Amino acid sequence: MNSFKYSNNNKRYHTLDYFYKNKFHQKICKISLNANFTCPNIDGKVGYGGCIYCSKSGSGEFAGNKEEPIEKQFLQIKQIMKKKWKNAKYIGYFQAHTNTYAPVETLKKLHNKILSQKDVIGLSIATRPDAISNECLDYLEELNKKTYLTIELGLQTTKEKTSKLINRCHSLSCFEEMVKKLRQKKINVVVHIINGLPYESKEDMLNTIKYLNTLDIQGIKIHMLSIIKDTALEKLYQKEKFKILTKEEYIDIVIDQLELLRPEIVIHRITGDPKIEDLIEPTWLIKKFTVLNDIDKEMVRRNSYQGKKAK
């Protein structure tokens, strides 16, 4: 019998579905959008070329078509979701590239186009900790009072050596400072991390979780490193053939991470979701539901649950 507090099914971790149902008392669907932004470490403001794992779509593989107006993208994806969940409400997810890297007036127009759509209850905005100006922070504070807002910050790792290797182009202190600023304005923060980054040990990956556990964050997205065609990461892999985690190693690490994580932190994602045709490695990522099921089974076998070893 599963007695994990934040679960309405057999999961032993705090799922996003549970969180939404508890908060909104109905099905919530996130609609991924591509507002055709760039990035400060692509255009030269802090660096060039972007993060080495980032695809041409700016990690927005399942977002809308950037050539289409934002409201058209939203409505097209909404129609598909409506067939499956007739009475759902929606969150507009600004996913691709850096979604606060534009003048505030531009952001307002884009956000209002989505917030004016029927059954939209909130926005989720993916960005970098070095790409939120003070003016933008003040705007986000106002936005947070009007709608359900989540800011998703990329961190990926706490190991500075890895951060340099993957060309993140921001420091850990910059990340921590932005989390504090957002929380001072009562804005929910979700952090992205990547397991299996080149040359990282299991201990490095657990250290990233231990660090995040000390911060006032509301959610986390755990990704497995995907080596995608035509990226700088693919070139590095072909040249150095660094170790790729097996499915079993990934599951072991994720469960150990979950045990360290405070149980109230919501798990927004627990594996990668690459496009099959673009994926070089690891090929086991293609079977997403197998990975999810295997995590569940192993947690039962270990009598494990999120927060079991949280301090």
Task: Give the model's pLDDT for residue 67.
Answer: 84
DSSP symbol at 238: H
List pLDDT tens digits, range 14-67.
Answer: 999 999 999 999 999 999 999 999 898 888 888 888 898 987 655 545 666 778
Task: Give the model's pLDDT for residue 49.
Answer: 84
Alpha helices (runs of H) in 121-246, residue ranges in sequence order: 134-146, 160-165, 172-184, 202-212, 232-240
Q: How far apart are CA 301 and CA 311, in angstroms?
A: 23
310 assigned to some structural domain = no
Return the closest-CA partner of residue 219 out of 195, 189, 193: 189
How many domains does the structure of the chain reveal?
A: 1
281 assigned to some structural domain = yes
Task: Give the model's pLDDT for residue 71.
Answer: 94
Instruction: Give the chain's residues under pLDDT 50.
Output: 1, 60
23 assigned to some structural domain = yes
CATH number, domain of 59, equals 3.20.20.70
Whole-structure pTM value: 0.95
DSSP symbol at 65: -
Task: Give the model's pLDDT for residue 57.
Answer: 55
* Structural domain range at position 77: 16-302
In terms of Cβ atoms closer than 10 Å to its own Cβ (0-12, 13-18, 19+), residue 151 is buried
Six-digit token pair at 35? 């507002």
List pLDDT tens digits, range 105-141.
Answer: 999 999 999 999 999 999 999 999 999 999 999 999 9
